[in-house]
Amino acid sequence: MPSSTTAAKKPRSIALVGPNGSGKSTLFDGLMSAAGMTGRRGGDIHTRTMTTELRLGHCAFMNDRWSILDCPGSVEFTYETLGALMAVDLAVVVCEPAPERAPTLAPLMKILEDEGVPHLIFINKIDTLSGRVRDTLTAFETYSKSPLVLRQVPIRDGDAVTGYIDVVHERAYRYCAGQPSELIAMPAQMLERGKEARAGLTEILADHDDVILEKILDDIPLSVNEIYPQLHKDQASGAIVEVLLGTATHSNGVLRLWKALRHDVPDPMETAARRGIAATGQPLVQIFKSQYRPHTGKLSYARVWRGMLREGAALNGVRVSGIHLLSEGEPIKVAEADSGELVVLGRLEGVPTGATLAGAGATEALTFPEPPPPVYALAIATPERRDDVKLSGALHKITEEDPSLSVLQDGETGETLLRGQGEAHLSLAIRRLSNLYNLDIVTEAPSIPFKETIRRAVYQHFRLKRQTGGHGQFADVKLEIQPRRPGEGFLFVDRTVGGAVPKQYIPAIREAAEEAMQKGPFGHPVVDVAVVLVDGGFHSVDSSDMAFRSATRNGVAEGLAKADPVRLEPIHHVTVSVPNAFTAGAQRLLSGRRGQILGYAERPGWPGWDDVEALAPAVELQDFIMELRSQTMGLGSYQHRFDHLAEARIRTAAAGSPVPNRNRK
């Protein structure tokens, strides 16, 4: 790795982001290889078999130092990508030349625009282009607030894409697999298309520069030296989004991308200013990812925002122990890291993801995104109770690594719930519990906290009379058990008169009546019931608190069974967010899961998206996210909260056959 004394600029960083399957990891490998990293391409501190976590690589290209983050593409790992975007100078949006897949860019482009992260687009797999590249661009522009500027035009030989025209330089190149593209004569059939693309580029630049506008109006050709300064300025400010082409698997377009990055990625000081960080002061660092490894302990991925970070430095009272860069797939320990660098720090115990660390006297606290609410959960346990403490510690670590995971101890069902962003997200977490912490994990769908209530009032008399030698047991209670309105809860009323039941026994009766609500005829807690003690009897010797407790519990249990009991299920208020092309499908999906549609409206701040509001049984939401995503190109999301309890009903299929209850116990 080049030292800071030989590098021309401070280290800069980029994140490769985009939909799953777009080829980000292949592009990562290609960029690293083009920068001369000939070892294990795409290296990280540990071997990976899935692209579900960030990969960090360091390299140098033409004496400039770079940190590159390869981000997961699955929507279930969006929070990992979001953390990466908070740490870099620019994002490269990697996508395929398929207009029909353009909607998959919508959430990512919204994040980039909301966070003000400069970005350009790399259309990968250009060799698979079947239509016109301008059609792909038109589809992408739907989801970009800034105009897209095509920097290259594909050259075709029949149906095959064989090269490209550099729009600014008006030069033609032929792709050479694994080699730099070859300069060729401009194909005659591409002359007009090249001029058209250049005119489109300059017209967009003219929107932000009067000199360029004047020359266009006077029909004066623009030189390369006149175009580039405005192009770089507009790209850096977010006024435009440059679009480049290539096929990473053949290294096509990779060197051209590197050249664009050298010119267009902002300086770290510019990025710091964008984040509102003062240019001078004590060292300032932010953690954007945490990770626990079996032999190295905790690792913290960090951005050095200001100053020089040195081994042994004290930040927020925490000593920095071990600063690493990643080269040729292996960690290299360094004594210091300059501002702009992305580094891996060792053993920052107690420092969470998103934390800001600063030197003495610094007071900045940088913002960091809140994790998204969970949309999927599993009940987890260990077969051996002796592993419960070990499981608790492991869960603490994996939720520290990934704040979009959370753990809930369900007080109603007694289950430990691991919650996250989907099936793959939780599967990865469970594998980590098994492989890294040597835990055997049993999973099942969470139990639904059903309740019970009654639909009619009953009168119940129960007398307890036992004689076992010496003092016996005697208690007589006459009860009215009545339904209450939903949400009113439990009520006990003493209406006895004339000392039918001595006052000292009333508290025991009240407590026993409430205890009897813990398990009704169907085995669930009972809610919204009143128990009225209307009369009773006692024995001066044989009556006791214990006797009255027993009589009351038995009397209430018998009374509930006669009072037309009914099982209640939790109903949640659901907000489903989808592109409006899927709105009708989302409504059908909710209706098919016994949902009551309340209406829909445009999603605030999301043009072309709708929020569908509904009430749906909790049992129907356990795997809802999987079906929603499968029907919406992976774009659908939802939030839910408990709303009320309602009588449980069995959903039936269209043919009338019963559908099994989704709650697996």
Q: Where are the domains of the chain?
A: 12-273, 284-358, 376-440, 456-563, 568-647
* Model pLDDT, residue 656: 34
Centre a 10 Å sphere on the Cβ of residue 178 and count the other Cβ atoms it contains: 10
- At 13-56, the pLDDT tens digits run 999 999 999 999 999 999 999 999 865 443 344 334 446 789 99
| Cβ atoms of residues 628 and 586 within 8 Å | yes
d(CA 534, CA 457): 14
pLDDT higher than threshold 50 for residue 665: no
d(CA 562, CA 307): 76
Question: Given pLDDT bands bounded at 50, 70 and 90, which one contains residue 283?
Answer: very high
CATH-assigned architecture of domain 456-563: 2-Layer Sandwich (3.30)
d(CA 77, CA 402): 9
- At 525-535, the pLDDT tens digits run 999 999 999 99
d(CA 620, CA 643): 14
Which of helix, strand or coil describes residue 407?
strand
Element housing 122 (H / E) = strand 119-123
Specify the pTM.
Answer: 0.89
DSSP string, 312-353: T-EETTEE---EEEEETTEEEEESEE-TT-EEEEE--TT--T
| Cβ atoms of residues 533 and 509 within 8 Å | yes
Residues 6+ apart with CB under 8 A from 664: 444, 445
Locate 233 and state its tokens.
Answer: 């300025």
Query: Which CA distances in Å does 482 have to 19, 155, 460?
Result: 57, 81, 11
Q: How many helices (H) and strands (E) does the chain have?
A: 15, 34
Rounded to 5 degrees, what angle do the CA atoms 400, 53, 434 make? Answer: 65
CATH 3.50.50.60 fits domain 568-647: no
Beta-strand ranges (E) seen in 512-661 are: 529-537, 565-579, 596-602, 609-617, 637-647
Question: Given pLDDT bands bounded at 50, 70 and 90, which one contains residue 329?
Answer: low
- At 493-510, the pLDDT tens digits run 999 999 999 999 999 999
Give the fold, CATH level 3, of 12-273.
Rossmann fold (3.40.50)
Helix 545-562 to helix 506-515 angle, to the nearest 10 degrees? 40
- Same CATH topology for 284-358 and 456-563: the answer is no
CATH 3.30.70.870 fits domain 376-440: yes
Question: Given pLDDT bands bounded at 50, 70 and 90, which one contains residue 660?
Answer: very low
CATH assignment, 284-358: 2.40.30.10
Rounded to 5 degrees, what angle do the CA atoms 579, 584, 588 make? Answer: 125
How confident is the model over 420-429, as a mean pLDDT?
Answer: 96
Provide the H-helix boundaries in 467-580.
506-515, 545-562
- Pair type for strands 12-17 and 64-70: parallel
* Model pLDDT, residue 327: 76
